Amino acid sequence: MARAPKKNYWEDALTIEEVEVAPPGPGEVRVKITHTALCHTDAFTLSGDDAEGKFPCILGHEAAGVVESIGEGVTHVSVGDHVIPCYQAECFPEDQASDHCPRCRGYRVGKTNLCGKIRPFTGAGVMKSDGASRFTATSDGTKLWHYMGTSTFSQYTVLHGESVAKVRKDAPLDKVNLLGCGLATGWGAVENTAAVEPGSSCAIFGLGTVGLAVIEACQKAGAKRIIGVDVDPAKFELAAQFGATEFINPRDAPDTPVQKTIVDATGGGVDYSFECVGSVELMRSALECTHIGWGQSIIIGVAGAGQEISTRPFQLVTGRVWKGTAFGGFKSRTQVPELVDKYMAGEVKIDEYITHSLPLSQINKAFELMHEGKSLRCVIEMH
């Protein structure tokens, strides 16, 4: 449980407390979480930099589990089904047919994956059916806000049906939990948002889990040059294993903007760049290292509340494109099961991103490892 924000999020990050998890209301699903990983976004919210962060809450959004009970009207999953919670929800076909929210118009035709049906409620940390939380701290009766519509750092959680992707039962839950965020995001940024084509040159800023997933997908897309950029050279060897062809540590040339280094090294700039850190300065570098006329830069990293990006408008007037992506543009409930199939067919990596596995009792150790840059993904065994 995150009782309050912590600037030094890794110091005794969470309290482990008994929580009462109410039964699912109409349209809701109660899930026994078997495994959850930590993502940098959990740390970001805990640090207090997330404008939407509400406390006290239960964090966690990259997980897998088993349906324990369903609320009235739920038909797309049954008790015992294996599922992945999706922070980016996806409404049902009948909802879209009725134009239930202003986003349906673009959602139906594939212009966005940002379903709006339950977004106001997941943002507010409550459930849509009654505007209330399903979590109560046993010790003092405090109501706890839901987080990202998922709250997977709990042995049981209640989700909107729209946030529940049913997956095949032979898929290992201790692995496919990673499809709830980081890997789907990195792969989708390349396949859906940028649509990288064979022979391209790509620069990836930040070689954590998201950056490595971008590299994996760039290689799969047939990119010829894949340039990894990180201030931690310890990341380069692993990035090479994922498909990076060359590396830049901006600290090796502190007086030269990294975008100039990349433009010079590539004869004018890369075709695609991806910012996977959450730094507004790097977002500028990532845009400006792309080629005049056609370069595209994709923002994936989440910057702190109130921060702004800037560049000279000339950069855009001359044809560079600045884009962003949430959950890699994937529609969650329908496409996460397809990603599971790809993993089961050996087409994508997951195991290689899991550097640590710890019991729930050591979740704070996992925050420390993330802070120290020692882990990619640490999977928490919840029972």
C-alpha atoms less than 13 angstroms from C-alpha of 348 in its C-beta half-sphere? 25
**Residue appearing with tokens 């994937």:** 330
In whole angstroms, give the CA distance from residue 196 to residue 204: 13
Toward ligand NAD, which CB reaches closer, 71 or 208?
208
Stretch that binds ligand NAD, among 150-158, 286-294, 321-329, 334-342 (CB under 6 A): 321-329
In whole angstroms, give the CA distance from residue 242 to residue 252: 23
Here the tokens at position 207 are 């070689």
- For residue 124, the minimal CB distance to Zn ion (Å) is 19
**DSSP structure class, residue 21:** E
Of residues 16-45, which lie at the interface with Zn ion (CB under 5 A)?
A: 39, 41
Tell me the residue ranges of DSSP E strands in the chain.
Answer: 19-21, 28-37, 62-70, 82-85, 135-137, 143-144, 156-160, 164-167, 201-205, 225-229, 246-248, 272-275, 296-299, 321-324, 354-359, 377-381
Stretch that binds ligand NAD, among 29-37, 156-164, 319-327, 333-341 (CB under 6 A): 319-327
Stretch that binds ligand NAD, among 3-11, 289-297, 300-308, 338-346 (CB under 6 A): 300-308
60 makes contact with ligand NAD (CB under 6 A): no
In whole angstroms, give the CA distance from residue 70 to residue 185: 28
Here the tokens at position 314 are 């000339």
182 makes contact with ligand NAD (CB under 6 A): yes
336 makes contact with ligand NAD (CB under 6 A): no
Task: Choose the contact partner of 343 out of ligand DAO, ligand NAD, Zn ion, none; CB within 5 to 8 A by kind.
Answer: none
Toward ligand DAO, which CB reaches closer, 14 or 276?
276
List of residues contacting Zn ion (CB under 5 A): 39, 41, 181
List of residues contacting ligand NAD (CB under 6 A): 39-41, 44, 181-182, 185, 205-211, 229-232, 235, 250, 276-279, 282, 300-302, 325-327, 373
